């Protein structure tokens, strides 16, 4: 039994903060941000919106996409909702429970997963296990975050990176290969290089980051997890058709693509427009490629992410 990705959806706020906007606020330049990160703009959630609002909108987009393929699909068929987030409006009700209520499902397993920017790969892996064990037949897996709201607006080392968004996969039990394998890791040893304190317990709770240390660890561990994924499936890197990376930094992404000998036109990139949307970056990038009809049935797609914790992981998918 496999879990297959049968629909995707996303929500991107319509307001964008550009490098030019940031030049007016802090001592930085479009040239510095573009060459160091590949980012030109990032979507920013309106103040009257919440992460569960974005998650619900992304879920609705995915539900509509599945209903277009299968008019008989009913949301009550969904047995599981997992939302990867570290920026939801409340600790409880969880973001997943709020989506469940708004989407109109009476009873299904619903919970959040916190693994920072690796959250979506973690949530996908957990949902895959629920499907593989026969516990549920359909699952909504959401990545939703608003990290732009957690940065000190005057800290040029963080405010340039993060945007807000939500993305969603609908998984379905299938006899045919879908998610082939997932590989998750965490190591708390260097956790202090990327932290976000809980607002309830600290007055000063802005995101703190030692960017250069995060960069070096990300490049090293993502190379390791790519090797681990290929070896676990006895695959050669030439068999990978697409890379859908967490969109943290174009140079980190290029290093992973190089490890796979994959040309950059086989890498799904949203970083220039969206920046780093944390747990939302993989599902929104994936959804953009689906909407542009980039993937063919049977394509092998590698997802990978690295984030606070420190956490990292990958998922290999047959589309």
Query: Which token pair is 174?
Result: 């299938």
Q: Please, what is the minimum distance in Å from the beta carbon of residue 182 to ligand ACO?
A: 18
Choose, by CB under 6 A, the member of 40, 149, 156, 273 that binds ligand ACO. 156
Residue from 44, 171, 248, 302 in contact with ligand ACO (CB under 6 A): 248
Name the residue among 262, 257, 232 with its Cα closest to residue 245: 257
Q: Determine contact, residues 151/206, Cβ cutoff 8 Å.
A: yes
Looking at residues 29 to 48 of the shown chain, list those that interact with ligand ACO (rule: CB under 6 A).
Answer: 32-33, 36-37
Binding mask 164-203 for ligand ACO (x = CB under 6 A): ------------------------------x---------
In the complex, least distance from residue 145 CB atom to ligand ACO, rounded to whole angstroms:
8
Choose the stretch contacting ligand ACO; rule: CB under 6 A; options: 124-132, 153-161, 180-188, 293-301.
153-161
Size of the site for ligand ACO (CB under 6 A): 23
User: Taking CB under 6 A as the rule, which mask of x and - marks residues 102-131 in contact with ligand ACO?
Assistant: --------------xx--------------
Cβ at position 226, least distance to ligand ACO in Å: 17
Q: Does 8 bind ligand ACO (CB under 6 A)?
A: no
Contact residues toward ligand ACO (CB under 6 A) are 28, 32-33, 36-37, 116-117, 156-157, 160, 194, 209, 211-212, 214-215, 218, 248-249, 276, 278, 307-308
């Amino acid at each position: 039994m496999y879990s297959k990705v049968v629909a995707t959806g996303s929500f991107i706020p319509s307001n964008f903060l550009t490098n030019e906007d940031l030049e007016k606020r802090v001592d930085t330049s479009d040239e510095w941000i573009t060459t160091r990160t590949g980012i030109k703009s990032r979507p920013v959630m309106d103040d009257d919106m919440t992460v569960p609002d974005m998650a619900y909108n992304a879920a609705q987009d995915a539900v509509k996409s599945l209903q277009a393929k299968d008019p008989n699909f009913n949301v009550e068929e969904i047995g599981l909702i997992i939302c990867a987030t570290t920026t939801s409006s409340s600790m409880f009700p969880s973001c997943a429970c709020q989506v469940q209520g708004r989407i109109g499902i009476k009873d299904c397993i619903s919970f959040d997963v916190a693994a920072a920017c690796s959250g979506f790969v973690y949530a996908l892996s957990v949902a895959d296990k629920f499907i593989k064990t026969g516990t549920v037949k359909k699952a909504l897996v959401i990545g939703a975050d608003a990290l732009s709201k957690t940065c000190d607006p005057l800290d040029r080392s963080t405010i340039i990176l993060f945007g807000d968004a939500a993305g969603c996969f609908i998984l379905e039990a299938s006899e045919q290969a879908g998610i082939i394998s997932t590989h998750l890791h965490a190591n708390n040893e260097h956790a202090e290089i990327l932290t976000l304190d809980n607002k309830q317990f600290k007055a000063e709770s802005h995101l703190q980051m030692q960017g250069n240390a995060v960069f070096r660890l990300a490049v090293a561990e993502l190379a390791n997890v790519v090797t681990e994924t290929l070896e676990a499936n006895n695959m050669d890197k030439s068999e990978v058709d697409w890379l859908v990376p967490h969109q943290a930094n174009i140079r980190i992404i290029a290093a992973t693509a190089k490890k796979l000998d994959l040309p950059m036109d086989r890498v799904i990139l949203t970083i220039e427009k969206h920046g780093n949307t944390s747990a939302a970056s993989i599902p929104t990038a994936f959804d953009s490629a689906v909407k542009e009809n980039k993937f063919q049935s049977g394509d092998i797609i590698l997802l990978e992410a690295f984030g606070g914790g420190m956490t990292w992981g990958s998922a290999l998918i047959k589309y």
